[in-house]
Structure 1
């Protein structure tokens, strides 16, 4: 189930977060400014943000399998339509609708992890599941520049559609929803509203802020390497694919770290400070370009992805089972809203003042996120498995 959920989100990310690797093609073929390219790149995440809560409600009612499979099937159809020649407005609208359909994966695949894994394993499991984003970006970094060079936009979009369609069939045939308790009272339904306390709000806010450096590096890393450092789009994509592998590993290591120390927030705070330092080094590399600039960009693309799994795990554990679905919907919405706004806003900012100041701003945002992460120790609950082999939910304070 973990493999299926991770695969589903990986192929969705190839489309949703792989569009930045089409930036050179969009600029050359259509004469777009960097801000306009950022707007097209943001279309899928705009659609995704608007539908996350609705998909989450459907997962609550009908289960994870049908939601993931139907959402990926709809994404496949919409991408197939987008592969035909269109104007930029129509293309952006189809990308937004496909992003809205792919939101099913973001709403439901995390619930598979929460449902099938106990709290003492959940940090590692969620870290593995969260590797889907850098893995999807890595696949895109390897495939998209070459496909764009040989087949243009059409071949690249068809590639993404084929991936989504294949995994939709696999999920529909092979996936199984996690067991649900027969007694709602045993599921924590009477728990207090976790939003009456500040910890959950702080997790949402800090993780949303940490999306700024992550999507600054991912959206503009390839363009930076091509325009400032003189790399070809294909070779720059290959370099950033290596960075995405590092990003995937960083999420797994961070999840395992949180399981061992019994806290999600302590590793999250320390990694936020590390992200701020690395983005500051990337800013310096943009001002004084050298081979070290390339190294800094690789590290930035890797480490900026490290906190996502921690934030989602902390959200579920702080909210408790009665509120985890709604809380993870809010968490997803905040992160993806920031992800959708970062490319166009940072694109305009970088276009006005340069890459150095843009990367420096991302470093400052990461530093602010480190200050917002809750300081109280929230242990990863180590609770025996529930009767019948079902893992017990982690409740706040356990």
Structure 2
């Protein structure tokens, strides 16, 4: 129950920290700022994966939890001391939009659906890459794990690049559509290279995995930007809920397909999910339908 409670409370961090980025940074800098914030997640996960197991083995599992507790308490103190709403935030909250208005916005629902679909190739890469290379293709376990680390680094760098790219072109959905296509093509190529030389498969798989990891900065930024005033946190929560729900079922489902059917079929499922996400994102823009209709009315 304690772990369940910690997980529930920890899940709120995504929406809260994303809202902080959205309120503090102007539109032309939000993508890069969100990219930095998103990159911190895999970096912290990599550090935890390297440190906590060693502590648990050497000193015991309780000491690993004590380290986590001390770290989180330190972060809580830092948030109390340094995190503040920007000037004018109270006035904006006074003009808060309605939750009904947010839920009626088809853009948010379509984007959340696309995010859930794009999580399938992301978790196929991050959860099953080692099994694909080690169990299926016979690569050494240490080398397979190292290649997964390389893919995570590429994904982290890609998050920064995707955020900066979206700032430069003043669009979140345009880059997201292109990344979805690239991910779909990449996984389809990996399926076709199932029996190719291992170096060739890795040469395609690593950048594909990096692309599958990097896109999350874009819908997280867009969710807050398209939300009515005062509801950016709720919009982020809706998008993240779609992501987490699909993330929970993807590894066992895709793993079952890989083992019981075939690895190329599992990779094609990931490719198809990215393609369907691209179709869901078709014609999606940052401009609300209401504003677009008003803009088309002749003066």
Tell me if TM exceeds 0.5: yes
User: 2:57 maps to what in 1?
Assistant: 151
**Counterpart Cα distance in 1 of 2:206 and 2:47:** 16
User: 1:108 maps to what in 2?
Assistant: 16
User: 1:165 maps to what in 2?
Assistant: 70
Match among 290, 302, 310 for residue 210 of structure 2: 302
Deviations 1:116-151 (A, max 9, x none): 21112111111111113332454466568x849x93
1:208 is the counterpart of 2:116 = yes
Note the C-alpha offset of 1:111: 1.7
Note the C-alpha offset of 1:191: 9.4
Alignment TM-score, normalising by the size of structure 2: 0.84
- Give 5+ residue unaligned stretches, structure 1: 1-46, 48-77, 79-93, 380-395
User: 1:83 maps to what in 2?
Assistant: none
Note the C-alpha offset of 1:224: 1.6
Moved more, 121-130 or 189-198: 189-198
**Counterpart Cα distance in 2 of 1:341 and 1:161:** 30
User: 1:57 maps to what in 2?
Assistant: none
1:322 is the counterpart of 2:230 = yes
> Alignment length, in residue pairs?
288
1:253 is the counterpart of 2:253 = no
Q: Secondary structure at the match of 2:194?
A: helix
**Counterpart Cα distance in 2 of 1:328 and 1:243:** 26
User: 1:189 maps to what in 2?
Assistant: 97
Note the C-alpha offset of 1:321: 2.6
Note the C-alpha offset of 1:158: 5.7
RMSD after superposition: 3.1
Q: Is the contact between residue 251 and residue 309 of structure 1 (CA under 8 Å) also seen in structure 2?
A: yes
Per the alignment, do residues 185 and 350 of structure 1 end up closer, same or farther by CA in structure 2, a change over 3 Å counting?
Answer: closer
**Counterpart Cα distance in 2 of 1:205 and 1:227:** 32
1:362 is the counterpart of 2:270 = yes
Q: Secondary structure at the match of 1:193?
A: helix
Q: Is the contact between residue 92 and residue 229 of structure 2 (CA under 8 Å) also seen in structure 1?
A: no
**Counterpart Cα distance in 1 of 2:38 and 2:261:** 33
User: 1:176 maps to what in 2?
Assistant: 83
Per the alignment, do residues 161 and 279 of structure 1 end up closer, same or farther by CA in structure 2, a change over 3 Å counting?
Answer: farther
**Counterpart Cα distance in 1 of 2:63 and 2:144:** 22
**Counterpart Cα distance in 1 of 2:65 and 2:32:** 28
Note the C-alpha offset of 1:254: 0.8
1:118 is the counterpart of 2:26 = yes
**Counterpart Cα distance in 2 of 1:163 and 1:238:** 25
Q: Is the contact between residue 134 and residue 305 of structure 1 (CA under 8 Å) also seen in structure 2?
A: no
**Counterpart Cα distance in 2 of 1:306 and 1:193:** 30
Q: Is the contact between residue 155 and residue 214 of structure 2 (CA under 8 Å) also seen in structure 1?
A: yes
Higher relative contact order structure (alpha carbons within 8 Å, sequence separation ≥ 6): 2
Q: Is the contact between residue 190 and residue 267 of structure 2 (CA under 8 Å) also seen in structure 1?
A: yes
- Give 5+ residue unaligned stretches, structure 2: none
Per the alignment, do residues 142 and 358 of structure 1 end up closer, same or farther by CA in structure 2, a change over 3 Å counting?
Answer: farther
**Counterpart Cα distance in 1 of 2:65 and 2:263:** 30
Per the alignment, do residues 354 and 168 of structure 1 end up closer, same or farther by CA in structure 2, a change over 3 Å counting?
Answer: farther
User: 1:268 maps to what in 2?
Assistant: 176
**Counterpart Cα distance in 2 of 1:350 and 1:160:** 34
Q: Is the contact between residue 269 and residue 373 of structure 1 (CA under 8 Å) also seen in structure 2?
A: yes
Match among 310, 322, 331 for residue 239 of structure 2: 331
Deviations 1:16-74 (A, max 9, x none): xxxxxxxxxxxxxxxxxxxxxxxxxxxxxxx9xxxxxxxxxxxxxxxxxxxxxxxxxxx
**Counterpart Cα distance in 2 of 1:237 and 1:158:** 26
Note the C-alpha offset of 1:234: 3.0
